[in-house]
Amino acid sequence: MEIISESLFKEKVRGENTGKVVVQMSTSWCGPCKKMKVMMDSLSSTYDDINLCYMDIGECTPEFSNVFNIRSVPTTVFFENGRILHTHTGVPVNKEKLNELITTTFQKGANNA
């Protein structure tokens, strides 16, 4: 899983040809975020066409958090070519549920394109 900063966000996530990207927006001190990061790490090699990323929003400007309306962590945002498909707050029950969330989100996004 790639760790990205606010300065890399536009290049890696918001560009029009960035493909499918899942960004876990978390903080280093959050217990549930650490659990989510382990699950994301374990799934990162599962997908050929989906890039999984991690951002510590504690290191971002307040404006950044406001753009995505982040009120609690972890918040996971699903992007396709820079467009937000879905936002999920909280930690799925297990890695299998996270995998299901990722795959169904992008299937729905493809159906709505």
Residues known to be catalytic: 30, 33
Cα(77)–Cα(60) distance, rounded to whole angstroms? 16
CB 47 within 8 A of CB 112: no
- Pick from 43, 22, 25, 36: nearest CA to 86: 22
